[in-house]
């Protein structure tokens, strides 16, 4: 083959890579535009709201959804964001099961489970179903639904389990569930429970996950149910450790070296955050650390009021 042929192939490859990048960015923009509009069949009568990004690409979410109602949609927001599904010495969701029952209440009869963070979805759904049935709730898994979007639209509550955050977010995009979940949670006010990866995707982005990027979602921007990021499974630096790798504290600090990065609430295992409307309260048996760009890191015990984070922009 001639040198000219190889040069042409290289130029075509670069052009194709650029085109794919542009299409991915366009797909993300349209997805969030739809998330900020009325997602009903009458959505054509509602104008799409474009979401802004800074020159550095950081995301600044709005705290409300554009709808036909003038009321603030975040007043309906109800979230239970859990650091981990299993605490040492206990079973699946055992450490937080009382919080789950109190959170869901008696009006919820069935919960829609999202098992996308793990590869074995059938087995994962079986584990979750057994647990929720023991608490008095039926459980349907979205991966078993013929139409995942309709399953979300018709559900009474959502539980997104832990696993790999990149795999989870990619599946949410692949199944067009980002706008559907946002509408159900922020506009309709159904309860949302997230654990580990399910907590990560409830925030602005998954930039502060602990997971490896085993797959590539079209964007790191997530559901944006709260205007800050969370780091689940937070581990404190161990002064006696001989491990020479970066600590979690160092990695979050590096994240805040970038411009326009939101606060990061680092929640230890056994910790959870309850969000009801514009009020956020730390619950559980362990505390959390709050990282904010340009500010000293602060330590907080269960019971602390984090409502001010919901006003962050």
CATH code where residue 215 lies: 3.40.50.880
Q: What is the pLDDT of residue 222?
A: 97
Catalytic residue among 36, 211, 219, 256: 211
Residue 188, burial from CB neighbour count under 10 angstroms (0-12, 13-18, 19+): exposed
CA dihedral 267, 268, 273, 279 (to 10 degrees): -50
61 part of a folded domain: no
Residue for token digits 């959804």?
Answer: 65
Name 289's bridge partners. 266, 299
CB contact set of 299 (below 8 Å; sequence gap of 6+)? 287, 288, 289
44 part of a folded domain: no
How many Å is the maximal CA-CA distance in the chain? 73
88 part of a folded domain: yes
Count structural domains, the chain.
2
Q: What is the pLDDT of residue 313?
A: 55
Name 272's bridge partners. 82, 283
Residue 203, burial from CB neighbour count under 10 angstroms (0-12, 13-18, 19+): buried
Q: What is the pLDDT of residue 64?
A: 31
| Strand, coil or helix: 19 | helix
78 part of a folded domain: yes
Domain co-membership, 100 together with 210? yes
51 part of a folded domain: no
48 part of a folded domain: no
CA dihedral 120, 158, 108, 61 (to 10 degrees): 170
Domain co-membership, 74 together with 26? no
Q: What is the pLDDT of residue 74?
A: 65
Q: What is the pLDDT of residue 62?
A: 37
55 part of a folded domain: no
Domain co-membership, 25 together with 76? no
Query: Is 233 a known active-site residue?
Result: yes
Domain co-membership, 89 together with 220? yes
Domain co-membership, 163 together with 18? no
Q: What is the pLDDT of residue 12?
A: 52
**H/E element, 298:** strand 298-300
Domain co-membership, 188 together with 271? yes
Domain co-membership, 140 together with 264? yes
Distance CA 38, CA 179 (A): 9
Q: Return the structure tokens found at 38.
A: 């009325």
Q: What is the pLDDT of residue 232?
A: 92
Residue for token digits 């554009």?
Answer: 66
Backbone dihedral region of 294: left (phi > 0), alpha (psi from -120 to 50 degrees) or beta?
Answer: left
Q: What is the pLDDT of residue 244?
A: 61
Catalytic residue among 141, 196, 221, 256: 196
Tell me the residue ranges of DSSP E strands in 42-86: 78-82
Q: Are strands 229-231 and 264-267 parallel, antiparallel or unpaired?
A: parallel
Q: Which domain holds residue 210?
A: 68-236+246-311
Strands of the sheet containing 288-291, edge to edge, are: 229-231, 264-267, 288-291, 298-300
Q: What is the pLDDT of residue 110?
A: 98
Q: What is the pLDDT of residue 90?
A: 87
Domain co-membership, 139 together with 22? no
Tell me which residue of 300, 281, 274 sits closest to 289, measured CA to CA.
300
Using the 8-state DSSP alphabet, how is residue 20 labeled?
H
CB 154 within 8 A of CB 145: no
Q: One digit per residue, pLDDT tens: the chain, 313 residues?
A: 555 554 555 455 545 555 554 455 455 445 444 444 433 333 332 332 333 333 333 444 433 333 323 234 567 899 999 998 888 888 899 889 999 999 999 999 999 999 999 999 999 999 999 999 999 999 999 999 999 999 999 999 999 999 999 999 999 999 999 999 999 999 999 999 999 999 999 999 999 999 999 999 999 999 999 999 999 988 777 777 776 667 888 898 899 999 999 999 999 998 999 999 999 999 999 999 999 999 999 999 999 999 999 986 5
Distance CA 222, CA 32 (A): 10
60 part of a folded domain: no
Domain co-membership, 177 together with 273? yes
Domain co-membership, 212 together with 254? yes
Domain co-membership, 254 together with 184? yes
Domain co-membership, 10 together with 133? no
Distance CA 191, CA 101 (A): 11
Residue 16, burial from CB neighbour count under 10 angstroms (0-12, 13-18, 19+): exposed
Distance CA 258, CA 312 (A): 17
Q: Are strands 192-195 and 158-160 parallel, antiparallel or unpaired?
A: parallel
Distance CA 173, CA 12 (A): 28
């Amino acid at each position: 083959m001639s040198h000219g042929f190889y040069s042409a192939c290289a130029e075509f490859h670069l052009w194709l890579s650029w085109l794919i990048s542009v299409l991915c960015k366009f797909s993300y923009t349209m997805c969030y535009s739809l998330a900020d509009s009325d997602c009903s069949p009458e959505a054509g009568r509602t104008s799409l709201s474009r979401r802004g990004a800074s020159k550095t690409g950081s995301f600044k979410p709005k705290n409300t959804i554009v709808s036909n109602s003038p009321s603030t949609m975040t007043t309906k927001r109800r979230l239970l964001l859990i650091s981990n599904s299993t605490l040492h010495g206990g079973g699946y969701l055992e450490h937080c099961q009382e919080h789950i029952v109190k959170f869901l209440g008696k009006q919820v009869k069935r919960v829609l489970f999202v098992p996308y963070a793990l590869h074995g979805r059938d087995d994962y759904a079986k584990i979750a179903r057994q647990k929720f049935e023991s608490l008095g709730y039926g459980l349907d898994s979205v991966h078993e639904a013929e139409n995942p979007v309709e399953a979300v639209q018709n559900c009474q509550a959502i539980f997104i389990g832990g696993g790999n955050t990149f795999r989870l977010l990619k599946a949410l995009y692949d199944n067009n569930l980002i706008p559907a979940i946002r509408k159900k949670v922020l506009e309709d006010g159904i309860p949302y429970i997230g654990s580990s990866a399910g907590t990560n995707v409830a925030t602005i982005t998954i930039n502060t996950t602990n997971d490896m990027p085993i797959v590539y979602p079209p964007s790191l921007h997530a559901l944006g149910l709260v205007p800050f990021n969370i780091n689940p499974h937070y581990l404190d630096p161990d002064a006696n450790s001989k491990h020479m790798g970066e600590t979690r504290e160092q990695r979050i600090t590096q994240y805040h070296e970038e411009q326009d990065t939101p606060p990061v609430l680092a929640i230890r295992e056994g910790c959870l955050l309850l969000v009801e409307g514009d009020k956020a309260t730390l619950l559980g048996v362990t505390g959390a650390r709050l990282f904010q760009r340009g500010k000293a890191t602060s330590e907080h015990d269960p019971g602390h009021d984090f409502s001010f984070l919901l006003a962050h922009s």
